[in-house]
Amino acid sequence: MIPQANPGAGYRAMKAEIDAAVARVLDSGWYILGNEVRAFESEFAAWLGATATIGCANGTDALALALRGLDIGPGSTVVTVSHTAVATVAAIQMTGATPLLIDIDPLHYTLDPAELAAVLDNPPPGLPPVRAVIAVHLYGQAADLDSIVTTCRRHGVALIEDCAQAHGAASHGRRLGTIGDVGTFSFYPTKNLGALGDGGAVATQDAERAARIAALRQYGWRTHYVSDEVGVNSRLDEMQAAILRVKLGHLDAQNARRQAIAAAYDAALAGTSVSPPARRPATEHVFHLYVVRVAQRDAEQARLREVGVGTGIHYPVPVHLQPAYRGRIALGPSGCRQTELAAREILSLPLYPELTDTDVECVCSAVRRL
Ligand SMILES: Cc1ncc(COP(=O)(O)O)c(C=O)c1O
């Protein structure tokens, strides 16, 4: 079976380098927030084109720290999409802010800029004022930042880019995470830049905001053992930072391999009833996932499984329809109609850099028969 994702293959491909990095940390005697974290933060910032990045425990915390760094919490509404990892919404709730979920553009599966403008022009009654928007760059593709940035600026609302699935993706040549007020990243093992455990980071162009977020991730300490404000424990450990430094060195090549596999899949799908992913003009897609749209999704998924092709569904149940949220979360005027339609038809094909050419050809011949 060819799996949809395979983080173990990523480790094996860099085993000697990763093992040496882990041994270096074990020998050092320093395991949390040390030289490896500091080095990774500056190397990742340089690679992104950000002033600073701050490592933290995971991508959910990165979003919550970003919101807190923008003074968003109780008494604020934060707009985002329902078609995302539940983490995006959970992070808003961790801060005490109120989420407002709006629909997606059905072609690119990212936040619908027209509905964003509508909810900022006419906020739904009964909610606190909208203070921030989280644009999720889903599947490795940029949300429509040209429109979103303009709308946020017009309303004086902060913009956070959720780049958990978009390490290295770009809009007009600028890497995502450096365009809004703050960018956030997850290093969950299957991500384009994945640790071998949990990890996350916040990116910002503002050095003082970076210092504040760095303090918030460790009890509000700017000086050891002195909390200037109430913070949390969301530290990145030295082992994950050392592994991430190794993997960052391979990320551009790995993203290029993902793009080449995506191009092969595009060609295989031409003339079939399956729609390949659309590319937004003037952006670079890094194919965290290759998500097709197909009418009889569950039957086609079973057919692919029979011929040894594993697939995934990202995500089968929109956030607003999950038991914890159904009927308890504010929605934009469209009621997330496109989100619900997409959830029935999306299917993620195998995509990770270590797929061999033979694996790719096997997936292509299976999808040609759909
Ligand atoms: C879009 C999105 N946002 C946030 C997260 C949260 O990241 P983590 O799992 O590291 O907390 C993820 C990953 O699961 C994600 O895909």
CA of 195 to the centre of ligand 1 (A): 13
Confidence grade of residue 79 (pLDDT, cut at 50, 70, 90):
very high
> Residues 219-251: pLDDT tens digits?
999 999 999 999 999 999 999 999 999 999 999
> Residues 268-278: pLDDT tens digits?
999 999 999 99
Residue 276 CB less than 6 A away from ligand 1: no
For the chain, the distance separating the N- and C-terminal CA atoms, rounded to the nearest angstrom, is 18
Residue 204 CB less than 6 A away from ligand 1: no
Of all protein residues, the one whose alpha carbon is nearest to atom 14 of ligand 1 is 85
Residue 84 CB less than 6 A away from ligand 1: yes
> Residues 176-202: pLDDT tens digits?
999 999 999 999 999 999 999 999 999
Strand stretches in the chain, DSSP E: 52-56, 77-81, 98-102, 104-105, 110-111, 130-136, 158-162, 170-171, 174-175, 182-186, 200-204, 221-223, 226-227, 283-284, 290-293, 330-331, 346-349
Residue 165 CB less than 6 A away from ligand 1: yes
CA of 20 to the centre of ligand 1 (A): 28
Confidence grade of residue 25 (pLDDT, cut at 50, 70, 90):
very high
Report how far residue 198's alpha carbon sits from residue 188's, in angstroms, rounded to the nearest whole number: 5
